[in-house]
Structure 1
C-alpha cells in the first residue's frame, strides 16, 4: 500500500481558455499577505501635527486621504516605511476582487462548550475564495457605516480584516476567540493558524503541529492543543513520518533498516498493490490497513494534480507588484505556499502560471501526449491526471517482479485510471500477458486502450466499466481462462477518498469511496480462488 504525500483541497475553478472552461481544481486559499508592521491602530494624541504631516505627505504621493488614514490607524505614526507598505497592500487588495461571504454556522454559539472545538472548522470552511467575487451584505454594511462615520472600533477591525480578503464571519470568530482588544496582527495570525491546521488536519508531524498551534498566541492555545490531543486519541490517524522515508523509496534511507513480517494470508502470489493519498480523511488509512491484512502503508512522494485559477495567478501578481523591492516575509511565504499548493511556476517577472497537462505527464512519469488526442479535451486531460500513480516510483516498487515473471505477468487492474501501473510494468520490460482493467471513466479507458495499441502490446487487454458487475462468478471464470492473476493493482476511485474534496468528504463511507470495499472483496476472491486452484 502506498500513500502519496500531498493533500490539498480541490473543487471547481474558473480557468478560461480559448476553447473551453477548465473545471478541475479547488477553492483558492483565502489567505492574504499579512501586514508586516502594524501597531495597535491608535495614534498618540500628542502627535497631531505629525499625523497631519504624514497624511499630507502620502496624499502628495497620489494616495487617497481615506486610504492613508486607514494605514496610519493600523500602523501608527512611528514608521513611514511600514505605513507605505500598508498602503500598498491595501491598494493591492482593493484592486483584487473581494470574496463573497458564506453564512456563519447556526451552531456557532460562543457560549457553547463546543465552540472552541469548532473554531478551526469555521475559519477554514468559511475562508475560501469564490470566483463570483461579490461583497457580502455584512461587508457592505460595514463599508456604509465607515462612510457615515458611525463605525465602532470593533467594526473597524472587522472591516479591516474583510478588506484584506477574509470573510466577515471568520474575522468575527477570531475576535470572539482572541478578544476584540487584540491588534489586527494577532487576529490575522489566528485566522492563518486555523486555516493551516485545518488544511494539514492532524496528519502533520507533532513538532509542526506544536509550531502552528503556537502561532495562535493568546487564542486559548492550551485548550486548543488539548482538544487536538483528545481528537488524536479518538481518531488515531496515521501521522506522516519526518522525514518522509518509505519502505524502499530510492532516497536517503533511515539509519536503521525497517523490517515487516507479513501475515501468511497477505503473501503472494497473487500480490497486491493499493494506492491512495496520505492526507485522506481521518481514520481512513487505519481502516484500509485493517481490511488489507494489517499491512502498514509506505509513503511516497508525488505532486498533487490540482490547477490554480486565472484569478489566483493575477492575485499573486498583484501581491508581489504592490511591494517596493523585496516583498516582506509574510508575502513571500504566502506566495510560495500558493505556488506549491496549486502547482504554479514562474513564467516571467511577477508572473506565475499553472502546469500544463504535458508538464504534469512528464512529472508523473507518463509518456509524452499520454492523455492527448482521441477527442479528449484539455479539461479531461487535467481530470484524468488527477491522483495518478507516479510511474517512476511505482516502477521502482514493482521492479522485483521482473526476475519473478520473466515470461510475463497477468494483472488485474482495479480503478485503473490512465494506466500508471501498466505503464510502470511496461517500462520495466515486464511483458503484459493479460490485463483485466476495471475503470468507470470512458475517457480513461480510451487513454489506456490508445497507449496499449501505440506501444504494440502483444498481450490481451480486457476492460470493464462497472466494478459491481465484476462479481465472484466472473472473476473465477476469467482466472480459469488465463491461469490466474499474479498481481492485483488498485487506487483510490474518487476524490472523496483521495482527500481532494475537503468539503463533503465522507471517507470510506462516501457514495463513491465505498468502492474501496470492492477492491477488498475482489482481492479476497482472487486469493481464495488461487489457493483452491493450487490445491487441486
Structure 2
C-alpha cells in the first residue's frame, strides 16, 4: 500500500481547535474531527441497485413525496447523487427553521419505530457485507491463465459512476469485519475486486480494490516477471532443501528477520547431524520462521531475509528505485512494504492506454514511492500532469528522483499534506489541466492489517481514517468536473 510510516505519522493536534464543521458529500454525512480528518456521522447505509431513481430513493429511506419533488425539480436524467444532494440540502434548510413536531418526536421515541429502524439498518448492512465478501481464490474479475466464471467478469456499475474521472482505491483485503462494506458504501456501492499479487509475481499480496475502470481487454506488463521463488532466486536452488516446498513468498511487509534469528535456524538444523534430514519438529520450527519472515536459502543450512534490492524487484520497481539519497536499509523496507505491487496495479490500469493515448492527468493520493506512476509509465501512458499528495519527505524525494531519471515531460506537483487539497485548489488544478482523468491511491493500512495487534481499529483508527480524506477529495473532483 502506498505511503511509508512517515506518511502515516501521528497528526499534531495540539494547536488544532475542534470544529463542528459538517459537510454533505454525496449521500453520506461526514464531519471534520479535531485532527481535520473527515469521518462518517450517522447512518451511512445506501443502496443503488437496478431500477429507476425513484425506487433507489424509496429504498434508501426517503419519503415518496420528497423523492418525487426532487426528481421533478432536478430532471429525470439527473444523476442519482445530485438528486440525493438536492433532498439533503432541502432537509437541512427545513430543519434549520423548524422545530420537530410532537408527532415526529413521539414516533422517534416509540419502541416500534426504533425496532423497524434497527431491522432496516441490519438488513442493509447484511446486504452490503454479503456484497463485500472476500472469496477464497482472490482472482478479482479475472487474472491471466485462471478460468473465471462469466458472472464474476460481468459487473454493472451504477450509471453515475462511469468515468472519467476514473478512480482507483486500494487497501489490504483482510480487514476487521465490516470495513470493506463501509468503504464500498462510501465509494458508490461498487463491489470490491479482491486480488492476490501471487498471480503476477513470486510473492503473495492480498489486496482489495474499488474502482470504476473497465475490466475488459486488460493486459500484463512485459516482460513478465518471475512468478515462483525458484525463478526469482535461481542461486538459491542448490541449497534449497526438498522439505521446504514453498513456491511463493508471503506478503512483503515493512520489517525483516534478524541475524540472530537466522543463526538459531542454522544451529537447529545442524544439531540433526552432518548429512541427516532434520526431524519433523525441527522442520516445522524452521518452516514457520521461514514463512513468517520470508527467508530464503543462501547456503548450506543458511537462510537470510530478502535484501531491499530483491524486495524492490518483487514489487515491480526499477532497480535502485529506493536506493541512495540518504535512505538506509530499514527505511527502504518500510517504503517498499507499504507500496503498490506494480505489475498487479498495471494490469488493472492497462485499460487506460487506449483511452488516453495522448497522456493522462493524475491525482495521486498517498503516493508513497510512486507505484501508480511507475505502473502508468511502464504501460506507455504519458504522464501529462501529476499531483502527488504524500506526507513523507523521503517518499517525495524518491518520486522526484524517478521523475527526473525517466525524463518525464509532464508536470509534477508535490503536496505534503492531504488536508491542503481543498476544493479551492482542486478547482484551480481542474481549470489548469482540463480536469483529472484518474484519482488513485490507497490510504494507510496501519489500523487494518492483520499484523497490527495493538491498534487494529478499523476505519476509526488514526491512520486508516484517512480513507475519508480520499472520499472527500474524490467527491469534490467529481462535483467540480460535472459543474465545469
Q: Which bin holds the TM-score, normalised by the shorter protein?
A: 0.5 to 0.7
CA pair 268-386 structure 1, distance change in 2 beyond 3 A:
same
Distance in 2 (CA, whole Å) between partners of 1:355 and 1:294 is 39
Residue 147 of structure 2 corresponds to residue 253 of structure 1 = yes
Equivalent in 328, 334, 343 of residue 279 of structure 2: 328
Equivalent in 252, 262, 286 of residue 304 of structure 1: 252
Distance in 2 (CA, whole Å) between partners of 1:267 and 1:256 is 21
Give the match for residue 270 of structure 1: 165
Give the match for residue 392 of structure 2: 441
Residue 451 of structure 2 corresponds to residue 503 of structure 1 = no
Give the match for residue 23 of structure 2: none
Equivalent in 174, 187, 199 of residue 279 of structure 1: 174
Give the match for residue 403 of structure 2: 452
Distance in 2 (CA, whole Å) between partners of 1:506 and 1:468 is 22
Distance in 1 (CA, whole Å) between partners of 2:348 and 2:283 is 37
Higher share in helix: 1
CA pair 516-337 structure 1, distance change in 2 beyond 3 A:
same
Residue 322 of structure 2 corresponds to residue 427 of structure 1 = no
CA contact (8 A) 2:257 2:305 kept: yes
Give the match for residue 106 of structure 1: none
Q: Which digits, 9 at most, give the CA deviation of each residue in 1:112-169, with x for residues without a partner?
A: xxxxxxxxxxxxxxxxxxxxxxxxxxxxxxxxxxxxxxxxxxxxxxxxxxxxxxxxxx
Distance in 2 (CA, whole Å) between partners of 1:378 and 1:355 is 11
Query: Secondary structure, in 3 states, of the residue corresponding to 1:462?
Result: strand
Q: Could you tell me how far 1:458 is from its partner in structure 2?
A: 0.3
Equivalent in 335, 339, 343 of residue 392 of structure 1: 343
Q: Which digits, 9 at most, give the CA deviation of each residue in 1:214-253, with x for residues without a partner?
A: xxxxxxxxxxxxxxxxxx9899585542333211322412
Query: Secondary structure, in 3 states, of the residue corresponding to 2:448?
Result: helix
CA pair 346-240 structure 1, distance change in 2 beyond 3 A:
farther
Distance in 1 (CA, whole Å) between partners of 2:163 and 2:285 is 47
CA contact (8 A) 2:184 2:190 kept: yes
Give the match for residue 412 of structure 1: 363
CA pair 429-447 structure 1, distance change in 2 beyond 3 A:
same
Report the TM-score, using the length of structure 1 for normalisation. Answer: 0.54
CA pair 234-339 structure 1, distance change in 2 beyond 3 A:
farther
Give the match for residue 169 of structure 1: none
Give the match for residue 47 of structure 1: none
Q: Could you tell me how far 1:300 is from its partner in structure 2?
A: 2.8
Q: Could you tell me how far 1:516 is from its partner in structure 2?
A: 0.7
Query: Map of 1:139-150 to 2, 5 A cutoff?
Result: none
Query: Map of 1:5-84 to 2, 5 A cutoff?
Result: none
Query: Secondary structure, in 3 states, of the residue corresponding to 1:243?
Result: coil
Larger-gyration structure (1/2): 1
CA contact (8 A) 1:235 1:282 kept: no
CA contact (8 A) 2:443 2:470 kept: no
Query: Map of 1:131-530 to 2, 5 A cutoff?
Result: 240-258=134-152, 259-298=154-193, 299-301=195-197, 302=205, 303-305=251-253, 306-324=255-273, 325-530=276-481
Q: Which digits, 9 at most, give the CA deviation of each residue in 1:242-272, with x for residues without a partner?
A: 3332113224122445121111232210011
Distance in 2 (CA, whole Å) between partners of 1:246 and 1:423 is 22
Give the match for residue 112 of structure 2: none
Root-mean-square deviation (CA), in Å? 2.4
Unaligned residue ranges in structure 1 (runs of 5+): 5-10, 12-231
Distance in 2 (CA, whole Å) between partners of 1:396 and 1:235 is 27
Distance in 2 (CA, whole Å) between partners of 1:524 and 1:498 is 26
CA contact (8 A) 2:449 2:456 kept: no
Distance in 1 (CA, whole Å) between partners of 2:271 and 2:129 is 44
CA contact (8 A) 2:252 2:311 kept: no
CA pair 335-293 structure 1, distance change in 2 beyond 3 A:
farther
CA contact (8 A) 1:391 1:423 kept: yes
CA contact (8 A) 1:387 1:498 kept: no
Distance in 2 (CA, whole Å) between partners of 1:332 and 1:428 is 43
Unaligned residue ranges in structure 2 (runs of 5+): 6-124, 198-204, 206-250
CA contact (8 A) 1:435 1:462 kept: yes
CA pair 235-406 structure 1, distance change in 2 beyond 3 A:
closer
Give the match for residue 72 of structure 1: none
Give the match for residue 24 of structure 2: none
